[in-house]
């Protein structure tokens, strides 16, 4: 769980160089957010913040664990987002410039099959654990493609959502996907 707190003048007293490895301050226009990791995992913690800029921070939570790269896997052009299929134990990576999704075997670190062609500029991706499908935001096309994870083929025609869909999340209780449409300032369900 990550806790974001707005900047306050009192919190500016502590210099950034004296922060613990579990606290980071990130400027965003006229605000600074303090990120405190409340529930840490024995691996690395990734946090993405959106505002004037997009930041992806990756830093070790437990510094006693190795923090080196264990493999480099070639996928399509401009890999953007990744989602894990908990049924097949495979990773799905959106390749924005290639307009494809690559499937990875996380045990062997190899690409499985050929890249899956989806819509224009795939970005966000999410797994529906109820129907064993991946949902891919096609940011330029304003659509969401659905991939059957058994066959790794796109099902039907893309679902039309708002302009500039970039992120997607699955609610396993309601069995619904939530898509943020950056260009429209809306969320499609």
What pLDDT tens digit does each residue of the chain (189 aa) get? 344 444 344 443 333 334 444 444 444 444 433 343 334 444 444 443 333 333 344 444 455 555 677 778 888 888 999 999 999 999 999 999 999 999 999 888 889 999 999 999 999 999 999 999 999 999 999 999 999 999 999 999 999 999 999 999 999 999 999 999 998 999 999
Q: What is the pLDDT of residue 136?
A: 98
> Residue 90 is encoded by which pair of tokens?
């495979």
User: What residues have CB less than 8 Å from 162, skipping those under 6 apart?
Assistant: 142, 179, 181, 183, 184, 186, 188
Q: What is the pLDDT of residue 141?
A: 95
**Residue the block writes with tokens 């990875």:** 104
Instruction: Identify any residues that bridge with 31 across adjacent strands, giving them in sequence order.
Output: 28
* Contact by Cβ (8 Å): 132, 147: no
Q: What is the pLDDT of residue 74?
A: 87
Q: What is the pLDDT of residue 73?
A: 85
Return the CA Rg of the chain.
Answer: 18
Provide the whole-model pTM. Answer: 0.66
**Residue the block writes with tokens 């099959």:** 113
CA quadruple 112, 117, 119, 120: dihedral, nearest 10: 90
Q: What is the pLDDT of residue 63?
A: 53
CB atoms within 10 A of CB 133: 18
Run of H or E including 180: strand 176-181
CB atoms within 10 A of CB 80: 18
């Amino acid at each position: 769980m990550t806790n974001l707190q707005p900047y306050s003048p009192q919190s500016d007293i502590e210099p950034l160089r004296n922060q613990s490895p579990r606290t980071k301050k990130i400027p965003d226009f006229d605000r600074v957010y303090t990120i405190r990791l409340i529930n840490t995992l024995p691996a690395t913690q990734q946090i993405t913040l959106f505002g004037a800029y997009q930041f992806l921070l990756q830093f070790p939570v437990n510094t006693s664990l190795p923090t080196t790269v264990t493999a480099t896997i070639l996928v399509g052009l401009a890999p953007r987002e990744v989602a894990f299929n908990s049924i097949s134990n495979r990773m799905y990576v959106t390749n924005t410039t290639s307009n494809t999704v690559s499937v990875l075997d996380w045990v062997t670190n190899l690409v499985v099959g050929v890249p899956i062609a989806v819509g224009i500029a795939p970005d966000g991706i999410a797994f529906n654990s109820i129907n064993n499908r991946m949902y891919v935001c096609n940011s330029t096309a304003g659509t969401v493609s659905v991939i059957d994870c058994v066959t790794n083929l796109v099902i039907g025609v893309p679902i039309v959502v708002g302009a500039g869909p970039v992120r997607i999340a699955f609610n396993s209780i309601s069995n619904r996907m939530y898509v943020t449409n950056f260009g429209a300032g809306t969320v499609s369900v």
